Structure 1
Amino acid sequence: MDEYEEALHHLGSDTLAFGPVLADQVTDKLELGYLLSYSHRDYCGMGMAMNEKKEFLYGEIWDGAFSEPRIFPNRDLFVAWLAQQSTSSLARLDDGDFFSGNQIISRKRLLDFIAPDYPKLDFIWYQV
């Protein structure tokens, strides 16, 4: 097994659900206007945000903007969905080599996001 296959295996074996506490903390941060996203040219991975309608977005980011995100109309639905997810379920392991494990939402990324020193972008770069 090469290094890439080993990394994908590790992502696939991390099946522990994020749970309601982490899901609530992530949602709290999104409600404060923080964006969980990488922003660079081309494919930026998966991201999360809350839009001006107070809907929650999850989806691919391309060139710093969402591309057809999944939209959750309210906090409760988003928290319920996120609480049931895991690093494995969001690792995109069935989406082809380019997307598998590429800038995905993982437990580590969520924990980094809820940390007090996570940077807040000063502008809104998404449109839905």
Structure 2
Amino acid sequence: MMNDPILLASDTVLFGSGIAELVADKLQKGCVLGYRHRDFCGMAMKMDEKNQFIYGELYDGIDFSVPMVFKNRELFVTWLSEQSTASLARLDDDDFYRANQVITRQRLLEFIKG
């Protein structure tokens, strides 16, 4: 599920509060935004047992590695609203992680609808 880094880099439009609020709603319902397969599953989002929002690398569909933790909805929504496909594409990372199963506008919209 590698994406074209050049295409991802060109999408710099911020997600905005509308998308961020809808993603937060879905996460608060217990949904997880992440692929579920063996090994590295890309970047994912969920809520943890402390009702904190989590963003980070997902492994084997269940294990988060060194996630960013947002203590409340407001912090998460503020952060996500200021992101874009380009900012979350990991374009400065090693070849394996660059554009590999990252959070994009398309993934967020599919998550909200699904």
> Which residue is 1:101 aligned to?
99
| Residues 7-27 of structure 1: per-residue CA shift (max 9 Å, x gap) | 211100100000000000000
> Which residue is 2:84 aligned to?
86
Name the TM-score, length of structure 2 as normaliser.
0.95
Q: Matched residue pairs, number?
A: 112
Name the TM-score, length of structure 1 as normaliser.
0.85
Aligned counterpart in structure 2 of residue 76 of structure 1, from 74, 77, 89: 74
> Which residue is 2:65 aligned to?
67
TM-fit CA distance, 1:45: 0.1
Structure 2 spans left out of the alignment, 5+ residues: none
CA distance in 1, matches of 2:4, 2:30: 32
Which structure has the bigger radius of gyration? 1
| Residues 19-72 of structure 1: per-residue CA shift (max 9 Å, x gap) | 000000000000000000111111000000011211000000011211121100
CA distance in 2, matches of 1:37, 1:8: 20
Q: CA RMSD in A?
A: 1.3
* Structure 1 ranges of 4+ moved more than 2 A: none
Structure 1 spans left out of the alignment, 5+ residues: 119-128
> Which residue is 1:34 aligned to?
31
- Bigger RCO of structures 1 and 2 (CA < 8 A, at least 6 apart): 2
